[in-house]
């Protein structure tokens, strides 16, 4: 049995992963999908865990480098928690399984998607390269932690890209150990990579990847596992499989077509760019004017109603991004509610100037966004958040520069009544239908949804209408009756044209 010399006191010192640790690992076993957030991203939730082997020669220490093989494009990274087996396990029960784990540490399950096609699912070449499994830098003793209360985070060039906990894993760690032990002996020093949450992506030469595992309270930490990517210079020999990347693998490696810089699938909703010129036009006119011009075009059901604003002094114009909540159902919340769920995905992908619109069914009995996620949206550059549900942490949300439009404050978390379900789809909010790419104009007078195809002409007509109304206002101010003036008859129209010509001069 391996004995690790851990020291746990007020100034906790943990055993560092070293060459002996790597040498003791006869097997490295990795789990395919284990985090609900990753399952949601992949669009599939397995009923049972599935595994693949990585060679022990793929192990490397923290602070090292990894080579992206010459000719490869898609070096994927996946921050993971690694279990280190402390005593042999063969046909152990779930109840006894955790006693066979000596420690946990941080790991990075690296691989080149360019070679996934070559091994019929074994991942040997795509995931088995030298240095493709860095681990460390410290080991946290298994008997000092609750395996359901660990946190995994990954940074890509200093940006936090993965952040999840083990609270709602599809397959808890003890189950993995027990399951594997039914057919093979887990030996002292073997490592099990326990899956990655959503947010895994692609690294390029020069990039720095960091992974850290902590207890949920932050009391114990592995420290950051740092790996720097280098460009390989030795080409593959012509007698073996050659690197081959396509858009399918790019989407898999990056996590989505958008993240990979690929065009949307045919038929997907794509919003046009909101040009600075068009944005300025829409900002210059009142929502009341926009509403009247929309009505002239037969659009009467394009206002999001019943909401209040944290910043009624602000006017915002932006393209809609959408998020839908469905009523909470406990079994579905387990698969869709935790980890990097649709809510967090929407917040973490909103772009500069966009407006995140949430469908909460008008449910006022819980929050749909709180201070941390609202702050994240503001940092991302969001122009506003609009929800027809409640807002949690109201005082903090109201203190942000970014406006939030909401039904009411409420102290409860969204899981009381909602499941974050999906993003960037057609939704209903405050009685209006909103599609991704619709133009939203919001101020103290109301919130309007403008179909992008008519926005340019609509803005021009609004500017013209307000110019006419400025003339009418001035004439009324001078004592003229509104009869024949509002709306203008032919005589007043002629006088307006003369006034407008002078104004333009």
Q: What is the pLDDT of residue 256?
A: 78
319 is in an annotated binding site: no
Return the CATH fold of 19-254.
Answer: Fumarylacetoacetate hydrolase; domain 2 (3.90.850)
d(C-alpha 15, C-alpha 282), whole Å: 61
Q: Which two tokens stand for residue 146?
A: 């609750």
Q: Cα separation of 54 and 132, whole Å?
A: 9
389 is in an annotated binding site: no
- pLDDT over 70 at 9, yes or no: no
Residue 430 in marked binding region? no
Confidence band (pLDDT; 50, 70, 90) for 194?
Answer: very high
Give residue-wise pLDDT tens across range 65-108. Answer: 999 999 999 999 999 999 999 999 999 999 999 999 999 999 99
The average pLDDT across 22-37 equals: 93
Q: Is 393 annotated as a binding residue?
A: yes
Q: The CATH number of 301-450 is which of 3.65.10.10, 3.30.479.30, 2.70.150.10, 3.50.30.40?
A: 3.50.30.40
392 known member of a binding site: yes
Q: Is the pLDDT of residue 281 over 70?
A: yes
Reported as a single tens digit per residue, the pLDDT across 115-174 is: 999 987 789 999 999 999 999 999 999 999 999 999 999 999 999 999 999 999 999 999
Between CA 20 and CA 18 the distance in angstroms is: 5
246 has a pLDDT exceeding 60:
yes
pLDDT at 269: 42
Which segments of 316-445 are extended strands (E)?
A: 316-327, 355-359, 384-387, 390-391, 404-406, 408-409, 418-423, 427-429, 432-434, 439-443
| pLDDT, position 266 | 44
Q: What is the pLDDT of residue 496?
A: 86
Model confidence at 4: pLDDT above 80: no
Alpha-helical (H) ranges within 171-232 are 173-181
Binning pLDDT at 50, 70 and 90, where does residue 5 land? low
If we measure between CA atoms, which residue out of 100, 197, 95, 91 comes closest to residue 142? Answer: 100
Tens of pLDDT along 327-372? Answer: 999 989 888 888 889 999 899 888 888 999 999 999 999 999 999 9
* 76 labelled binding-site residue: no
Can you give the residue ranges of every domain in the chain? 19-254, 301-450
């Amino acid at each position: 049995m391996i004995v690790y010399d851990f020291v746990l006191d007020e100034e906790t010192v943990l055993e560092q992963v070293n060459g002996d640790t790597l040498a003791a690992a006869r097997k490295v076993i990795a789990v395919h999908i284990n985090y609900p957030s990753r399952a949601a991203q992949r669009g599939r939730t397995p009923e049972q865990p599935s595994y693949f082997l990585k060679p022990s020669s793929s192990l490397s220490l923290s602070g090292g480098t990894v080579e992206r093989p010459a000719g490869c494009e898609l070096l994927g990274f996946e921050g993971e928690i690694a279990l280190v087996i402390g005593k042999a396990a063969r046909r152990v029960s779930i109840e006894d399984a955790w006693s066979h784990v000596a420690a946990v540490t941080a790991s990075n399950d690296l691989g080149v998607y360019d070679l996934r096609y070559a091994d019929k699912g074994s991942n040997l070449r795509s995931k088995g390269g030298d240095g493709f499994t860095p681990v460390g830098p410290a080991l946290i003793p298994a008997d000092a932690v609750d395996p359901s209360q660990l946190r995994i985070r990954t940074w890509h060039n200093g940006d936090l890209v993965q952040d999840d906990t083990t609270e709602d894993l599809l397959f808890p760690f003890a189950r993995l150990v027990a399951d594997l032990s039914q057919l093979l002996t887990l030996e002292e020093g073997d490592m099990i990579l326990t899956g990655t949450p959503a947010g895994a992506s692609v690294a390029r030469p020069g990039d720095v990847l960091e992974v850290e595992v902590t207890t949920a309270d932050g009391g114990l930490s592995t420290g950051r596992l740092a790996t720097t990517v280098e460009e390989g210079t030795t080409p593959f020999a012509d007698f073996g499989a050659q690197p081959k990347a396509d858009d399918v693998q790019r989407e898999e490696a990056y996590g989505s077509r958008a993240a990979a810089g690929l065009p949307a699938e045919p038929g997907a909703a794509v919003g046009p760019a909101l040009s600075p010129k068009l944005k300025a036009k829409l900002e210059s006119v009142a929502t009341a004017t926009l509403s009247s011009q929309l009505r002239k075009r037969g659009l009467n059901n394009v206002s999001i109603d019943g909401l209040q604003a944290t910043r009624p002094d602000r006017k915002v114009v932006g393209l809609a991004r959408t998020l839908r909540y469905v009523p909470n159902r406990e079994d579905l919340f387990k698969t869709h509610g935790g980890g990097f769920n649709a809510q967090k995905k929407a917040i973490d992908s909103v772009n500069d100037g966009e407006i995140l619109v949430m469908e909460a069914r008008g449910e006022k009995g819980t929050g749909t966004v709180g201070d941390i996620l609202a702050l994240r949206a503001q940092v991302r550059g969001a122009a506003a958040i609009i929800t027809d549900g409640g807002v949690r942490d109201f005082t903090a949300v109201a203190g942000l520069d970014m406006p939030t439009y909401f039904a009411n404050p409420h102290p409860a978390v969204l899981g009381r009544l909602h499941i974050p379900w999906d993003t960037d789809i057609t939704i209903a909010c405050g009685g209006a239908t909103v599609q991704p790419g619709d133009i939203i104009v919001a101020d103290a007078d109301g919130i309007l949804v403008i179909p992008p195809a008519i926005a340019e002409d609509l803005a021009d007509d609004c500017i013209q209408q307000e110019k006419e109304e400025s003339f009418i206002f001035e004439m009324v101010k001078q004592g003229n009756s509104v009869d024949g003036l509002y709306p203008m008859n032919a005589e007043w129209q002629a006088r307006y044209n003369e006034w407008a010509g002078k104004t333009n001069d």
